[in-house]
Structure 1
């Protein structure tokens, strides 16, 4: 391990707190970068720089002044190109700029699939509304509009007819940062899966698979991620094999991975992939429980000392362990919150690892417009699927958001 014990983490939002705590457990001095006065991670770190995470010059100077030995990001797509650029400039072990581009540019992901024989939906990169309209008319099918490099489902729209394209296209385009274009692709109606794993010099290992559900009011926003080692209807061994082969062929030297697929006509189609762990505490809470692999220790070790092979016990994929990340529903139409019922149950269930409500009584809440605006969640970790279903049933019956 390096003698220098200072590590910079960015951004400094709430989702980076488990990584900060893990670093401190290993004796590192942890500094964070985030733009807001009262950023959630500031109290957990040993120091901070209040700056935009895209302020390359200021972050580079901060790393040099504090004699940092590493720069790490986690659960944040938009920080990846920043980390790659700074890693190259400062000589830190990070992902390369080529890997950062592939794992944040949705158009590049499609071209990677096309070049390497992986299934993908029909798509077109559209710079104008006319290009999008022409493609949708030719396709004669509902489409998904996606900004090239946004996060948290911002600017993502499912469009069923040409008449709805105009307003949706403008919104999607506004969230594309590096290149002003929108990825327009055929919407796949089938079930969606998330796959989390780890990449190193010895290849890729899939660690956890979930089947997704979505909110009725917006099919692009997940309402539930249900994690099991196998599924009676869908072949998870095939999905693991596809995912490991896909990720092994990327330029990512080391890191955590989070990939989304949809299933249609007996095939798994790549939706998008990321060179970071699953968000909303999937990588910090769910993946280690299911896989028995200490993914954060591996990420920290490689980020400080350089890429090294990992050792994953593949028998863990047959484990009866299971988990759920469940998002609370906002009562239809939203409104002012009177109270939350069932908090006592959430506190009493040992299977509930963590929960949160992103509001308090008296606040107004609305149905989620993107991933970041969901009203709350819980994570349950269980040793059997029977127990997991019992826990979920109890919570669904007793936990309620009551509006005035």
Structure 2
């Protein structure tokens, strides 16, 4: 395949792996992002410093640079831009309608309802009164969230009219395209993520995690533990539910990341995206768990080389396990004096990546949304016993010391 040019949206730390993949395949990778010091700029062959929602500037740049693929990953807000630019350029993408379905939480609920899939009671809300009416109707606590935001911004669990009134405007402020909030019955059960890949005719669910959350905020994940089986939950049933949604959706190709909750023997879709899981789930964990080079397939499809491979996970990977573990802020936070134990993070072969989002001398506090977590590590092991040993050792050795 001769060298061709792609545009990656956006240019944060999380897009660096897809840029590296594009270049390793012999193509040019350009990036658009609004900030001069965008982390992905040094890795790209060129960049446009612009708001990704400045459609005309992005389109002009694509034409100027002879772009023949528009790509993103690990960014919900980028997907409608990817679809619109690709549509204008006449190159393959997820499509404008799929971009809407996989970013608009109300459309996800309506699609589930239309296709006989399970969903919690819900309502589109333009005012606090709309959410209060649902609360009075079902007599159960609600979760309210922006229609099309990400990173758990503006998400609140509410159980009274007063709490709805207190939080509604903040939730609304994070909605981007349409200023609305979706309110729905809050499901108390265990939460899962599931990442997959879509070919023209089939969806393959490749990696499932069971989630844990911070004690101070049950909307923010503190741990995602990946395995192919679970003694408490039927992962095959979850795969079937997830595959059905995607295959009915009309998504032509691409990566997927979904969140489900378990209640009374059933898996309920919370939300689903036509991109890979964030915090490097799609870049690091999915390939390890499945043996699938998901980025290579995404890049090839985006350039128009769309094939129909079999992405069934081979038996030799079925014992593999992985964890995305977020570090916890000690006590209620404070000034960081030192970090102990980093030598173990460097030396343990199963720890493939780690990152602290602060420096010595910074003030840290408990995360208020996904983007405010203080750091993470990713460990990938051939079996659960080894992974649990690594996790326990990290817990014992890594200490964030505050003044």
Whether the TM-score (by the shorter chain) exceeds 0.5 is yes
**Paired residue for 2:217?**
218
1:170 counterpart = 2:169: yes
Could you tell me whether the CA contact under 8 Å between 2:123 and 2:184 is conserved in 1? yes
Q: Which runs of 5+ in 2 are unaligned?
A: none
Could you tell me whether the CA contact under 8 Å between 2:291 and 2:317 is conserved in 1? no
- CA distance in 2 between counterparts of 1:195 and 1:316 reads 19
Q: Secondary structure at the match of 1:201?
A: coil
Superposed CA deviations along residues 31-85 of structure 1, whole A, max 9, x for unmatched, are 1000001100011111100000101100100010011111101110001111111
**Superposed displacement of residue 138, structure 1:** 1.8
**Paired residue for 1:264?**
263
TM value normalised by structure 2: 0.98
- CA distance in 2 between counterparts of 1:178 and 1:197 reads 26
Q: Secondary structure at the match of 2:194?
A: strand
The 5-angstrom pairing of residues 78-117 of structure 1 reads: 78-117=77-116
Could you tell me whether the CA contact under 8 Å between 2:3 and 2:26 is conserved in 1? no
Q: Which runs of 5+ in 1 are unaligned?
A: none
**Paired residue for 2:293?**
294
- CA distance in 1 between counterparts of 2:313 and 2:345 reads 32
Could you tell me whether the CA contact under 8 Å between 1:93 and 1:307 is conserved in 2? no
- CA distance in 2 between counterparts of 1:312 and 1:233 reads 26
TM value normalised by structure 1: 0.98
**Paired residue for 2:362?**
363
The 5-angstrom pairing of residues 36-75 of structure 1 reads: 36-75=35-74
- CA distance in 2 between counterparts of 1:100 and 1:319 reads 32
Superposed CA deviations along residues 104-148 of structure 1, whole A, max 9, x for unmatched, are 000000001101111111111111011111211222111100100
Could you tell me whether the CA contact under 8 Å between 1:125 and 1:181 is conserved in 2? yes
The 5-angstrom pairing of residues 60-209 of structure 1 reads: 60-209=59-208
**Superposed displacement of residue 242, structure 1:** 1.1
Could you tell me whether the CA contact under 8 Å between 1:207 and 1:317 is conserved in 2? no
Q: Secondary structure at the match of 1:249?
A: helix
- CA distance in 1 between counterparts of 2:181 and 2:249 reads 23
**Superposed displacement of residue 318, structure 1:** 6.3
Superposed CA deviations along residues 337-357 of structure 1, whole A, max 9, x for unmatched, are 111111011111000000000
Superposed CA deviations along residues 171-216 of structure 1, whole A, max 9, x for unmatched, are 1100111111110001100000000000111210000000000001
Q: Secondary structure at the match of 1:89?
A: helix
Q: Secondary structure at the match of 1:259?
A: strand
- Counting matched residue pairs gives 403
More off after superposition, 259-268 vs 167-176 = 167-176
Runs of 4+ in 1 over 2 A off after TM superposition: 313-318
Q: Secondary structure at the match of 1:150?
A: coil
Q: Secondary structure at the match of 1:353?
A: strand
Could you tell me whether the CA contact under 8 Å between 2:289 and 2:317 is conserved in 1? no
**Superposed displacement of residue 317, structure 1:** 8.6
**Superposed displacement of residue 162, structure 1:** 2.2
Q: Secondary structure at the match of 2:314?
A: helix
**Paired residue for 2:7?**
8
**Superposed displacement of residue 402, structure 1:** 1.1
- CA distance in 1 between counterparts of 2:352 and 2:313 reads 24
